[in-house]
Each structure stands twice: as structure tokens, then as C-alpha cells.
Structure 1
Amino acid sequence: MPDGYDRDRDKFDSNQRGRIFENGTARFFRDSENGYAQESSTYRSDIGKIKFDKVKQRDGLTYTIEEKSGRIEGQKDRRQLEVVRELIESGKVHKHILRSVEGESISPDIRELVIGLVGRI
């Protein structure tokens, strides 16, 4: 990225980068003011489980956020999105937000899964 973002984050390992990204988005989007909390609960579907980065429970509805500070690709990301889809279809999650760093790559097969979720929420 031409703005120096990649250079700035080279000093940190992937876990640190992820935490920095989550904290930054929380401040930028005012997640806590909007009722979201960092959640440690595990959400289970028939095909797997996921721990979301942030969750909001309001009026019997569940709103979730997952944040990705790097590329979105591979089996782990695929599995998470499949679980999210099942949670939405079963009514356990009512709205899901996937946030990513601008300009990070998303593999074509994962992009299809994301696009498939858009119409379901």
C-alpha cells in the first residue's frame, strides 16, 4: 500500500497486527458505544464453531463482527464463513459484519462465499 501501512506493521507478528487492527476498528467504528463487546463465547453450528471478535445482543437478536487484518484465503477462513452462513440460516446470528484491511487480497473462492452471504443478511 502506498500510504506506508505495510511498512508500519512489519514490526509486529500476525497476532499483534490483528489486535492492533481490532483496537483501531473499535475506536473508528465506535463499537463499544454501539453495543458491541469483545466476546469469548463459542457459537456452534452443525459443521463447526467460531468465536467472533465482537458480539452485540439486543432485543433477542445477535449481531457479530469478524475482523481480518491480513489476506482472506485458505481453509480456516473458508470454514469460518461456512459456519457464519449456517448460523445466519439457523437464526442464531441475525447480522454479521466482516471487516478487512483495505487492499488486502481475498482469494476468488472466499470472495464467492462472502458475496453469497451478502444477500442473506
Structure 2
Amino acid sequence: MNKPYHISDYYDSFKSHLVFSTSYLGLENYIADLAHHFRKTKYEGNVIIDLLLSNGKTRNRYIQIYFDGKNFDIEIAKSIKANKELQDKSLCYYAENSELLKDSVLNKSQAYLIKNRIAI
């Protein structure tokens, strides 16, 4: 089975890692796997998770969580408003991997726009 996420570097001012959901599964289904990955790579810092496929275009699409080297600090997780750079990076990822859109909460119109690199 493929992983329900894809990890990318995101060089914002915090040098965060950006995680793209690759299925409609909610974050609770794979957060332990993400923590395991970051422990193995000895990463410590911010992680931004794009939950487009499970949350759609909602205010809680992007979640920022701090990873302390061992675990995510869920207590200080927060939804964030994406800047233009983050929106563009997400749009490019999902347009280039448009097959992921079919198994998501997005309607056909939203999936069509993303496939054609038009922000929703």
C-alpha cells in the first residue's frame, strides 16, 4: 500500500517540512507513521500538513505542528492561512499528481481546476 502522505522540504522562514496528503484519510490515520519517519531522520522543527484531499478547501486545510525530535506537540497544532508560495507549491504538487484527486472530498469542478493549475 502506498503511503497516505508525501513529504517535501518547504523553505519558509522556519525551514519546515511540508506534508501533502495523498489520500482522503484524515491525519489521525497516519500521524504515528509521520512521527516515526521524522524520528528516523532526526528532524526537529515545524511540519506543515496540507489536508486538501481529506478536508477540501476549508480553513483547516493547512495544519502546522511542531515536531520535537520524538513526537508531535499536538497541543500547539494550529490551522494556518497559506501564503502565496505555499499555495503555489501545493497547487503544483496536486496538478502533477492529479490522479490523487479522484479519491478525495473534492468535487469534480474543484479537481478539474487543480488539474489545470487553477487555484480553488
Q: Note whether the superposition's TM-score is higher than 0.5.
A: no
TM-score (norm 2): 0.29
TM-score (norm 1): 0.29
